[in-house]
Structure 1
């Protein structure tokens, strides 16, 4: 994969093939190890290490900012996520920070992040119309803002599962971002600021190119650190 990197990037960027054609042409790329390796070839940064370290550093301040934003009762979806977190404030703080981000940034994540009952709708139905996103499969009742019994998560591109078998939301977010880089996709319009925040602020990739909206939340987080 390293030896064919230049040829692969030329094809992907120049021809902009459909995801099915990319998978058929370069099937070895679609596993966690190779996505991480490809991301490092493109960005010279370790995908998971950079993402999770950056997220851990920002999560406490993000949750404080979210909490302050819910005081006016203008962000009910964000409040539901924080209420869910308070029921079991153990391993879900990263998840709450990630799932709350688009709501804080006034974006609509429903077409990008979907919850799927393992014993309910079929995979085809769950992915219908999904051009780029995360499918989070759960078991049991999903009465909270995010499910506790996650059994599998998948990255979906053009209604196609490109890889799966993740059972934690932060890692699947990181791999989602990795796929975007690896196959040269644009951020989904409905969550473009959320993904830009992950790129510019969490992973510190070209932070000086952040948009005004992303600079705004970054500056607010810096104030919370004082």
Structure 2
């Protein structure tokens, strides 16, 4: 894959082939190892280690920020903060219509049981499944966006922009106003944690 990188990039960027065609032409690219490697070839940033480390650092504070929001933000994110139980046969038709999605399939009513499957849909094609966690799936989706030269979905452009600038540290000086505001809030929470007294 290293040796064919320039050929593959030319094909992906110039021809703008669909995901299904690229999966047929470059099947090795559609694995966790190769998405990690391709992302590093494109950005020089290690995908999964950086993403998971940033998630560990920020996830609690991000949840606090979202929970403290009111109005539309609170309503639209409320269900995202809850674990949803999904049956595969109910979800397949809906997933086929998705431009881009991470799915978690649970076959048990007990949310403490591990998911049956975690995967990624792009352009209605299941490009990856049996991922180890939802966090890994999010990292892989971010990697696919770079590897396949895709645009951020319009309804999630600020989310992906925040992942790019804050989580991955890619072009952090070119933040939108919203991402800059989030960055400031995270910094304030980080600073307040540094000065919280430890009770013994």
Normalising by structure 2, report the TM-score: 0.86
Rg comparison, structure with higher value: 2
Q: Match for residue 29 of structure 1?
A: 29
CA contact (8 A) 2:104 2:117 kept: yes
Distance in 1 (alpha carbons) for counterparts of 2:49 and 2:127: 21
Say if 2:148 is the partner of 1:183.
yes
Say if 2:193 is the partner of 1:217.
no
Indicate the RMSD between aligned Cα atoms, in angstroms: 2.3
Structure 2 residue runs of 5 or longer lacking an equivalent are: 192-200
Distance in 2 (alpha carbons) for counterparts of 1:74 and 1:178: 26
Distance in 2 (alpha carbons) for counterparts of 1:160 and 1:122: 13
Q: Match for residue 173 of structure 1?
A: 138
SS of the residue 1:121 aligns to: helix
Q: Match for residue 127 of structure 1?
A: 95
2:128 to 163, 187, 191: 163
1:117 to 87, 93, 99: 87
Q: Match for residue 75 of structure 1?
A: 74
Distance in 2 (alpha carbons) for counterparts of 1:207 and 1:73: 27
Q: Would you say how many aligned residue pairs link Structure 1 and Structure 2?
A: 190
SS of the residue 1:206 aligns to: coil
Q: Report deviation, 1:220.
A: 1.1
Q: Match for residue 197 of structure 1?
A: 162
The structure-2 alpha-carbon separation of the partners of 1:223 and 1:20, relative to structure 1 and needing over 3 Å to count, comes to: same
Q: Report deviation, 1:66.
A: 2.5
The structure-2 alpha-carbon separation of the partners of 1:193 and 1:148, relative to structure 1 and needing over 3 Å to count, comes to: farther
Q: Match for residue 54 of structure 1?
A: 54
Q: Report deviation, 1:167.
A: 4.0
Q: Report deviation, 1:16.
A: 0.4
